[in-house]
Chain A
Amino acid sequence: MVVLIEGLNKIRDLLETNLTKGQNGTGTGTANESDTGLEVALGSTLKTLTTNKADKILTTIQTLDTTEANGLNLSEFENQFSTGESLIRFRHTALSKDNTKEFRFITVYELEGE
């Protein structure tokens, strides 16, 4: 038995349909598999993702424009399903946001059959 590329790409499409939100936060705790979201979520940064697709690959992009999250040190990021569950949480170096900057948080997923 093998997992078919066609099937992997269908899963990618299903993921794209349902993984629709990105959100930033200011929490500094280490990310753990048992987390259920961001440590300190910033509700104003909960935004709809834009996506790109390639073979077995899904790229999601969260954009914070110059009017959003200003004055904050962003230190965590998540991708959410449309129903609110979090798929991933990143703890990253604190990034200072102000009205001269636009941030784009890009996550690249790859599906693999083995």
Chain B
Amino acid sequence: MADSTAQKLQKTGDEVGDVPNVLLVPFALKNSIKLKIKNFIVEQTDNSSSNSFLLGHPVNGILGTATALGGSQIVLGSTTGSVTTELLRRSYIWDTTDELNKGIKSKNIDISQGFMQLGNITVKDIRLHHKENENF
């Protein structure tokens, strides 16, 4: 991005060693360093050391043979792999539209088209506000 007038003036002073030929610089250009929290994510990995995943299990349900359960059980699911699910994601900085959408879309709310429908009410001109000191 091109420098603002104030930035150019400040650079002149800083880099050339001259004082800008103006009576007043509107504001001093400040260079600072910020530490930002980009994302906070909680993942859950389910322990599947036994072959006991059943059809309808909230995490897995793959057709297979039961080896860790009692006999005569119809079991759908047999795996020694683990399943990881994302329980929680908070995005504080978005670099791409995809990242933004991941943070705002849900089954019930989609504001990707710039509006949100709540029954007969249409909410338009939605602005996303990023709070620097977000508490949650």
Residues of A within 8 A of B (CB): 1-3, 8, 11, 15, 30-33, 57, 66, 77, 88, 90-93, 95, 99-114
Contacts and interface: CB of A to CB of B under 8 A. Distances in A.
B46 A100 contact: yes
Contacts of A33: 133
Given A32-B135, A90-B136, A100-B47, A95 B42 contact: yes
B128 interface: no
Q: Is the interface of B mostly helix, strand, loop or mixed?
A: strand
A2 B136 contact: no
Interface residues of B, number: 25
A3 to B, nearest CB: 5
Contacts of A101: 44-47
Q: Which 3 A-B pairs have the closest CB atoms?
A: A108-B38, A108-B39, A106-B41
Contact of A91 (B14, B42, B47, B135): B135
A108 B37 contact: yes
6 contacts: A101-B45, A104-B45, A106-B41, A108-B37, A110-B38, A113-B31
A107 B42 CA distance: 9
Interface of B: 14, 31-47, 87-88, 90, 93, 133, 135-136
A81 B23 CA distance: 47
B28 to A, nearest CB: 11
A56 B39 CA distance: 14
Contact of B42 (A11, A88, A105): A105
Contacts of A113: 31-34
A107 B133 CA distance: 15
A104 B135 CA distance: 20
Contacts of A110: 35-38, 93
B14 A102 contact: no
A32 B123 CA distance: 31
B36 A112 contact: yes
A107 B32 contact: no
Given A11-B33, A102-B47, A109 B38 contact: yes
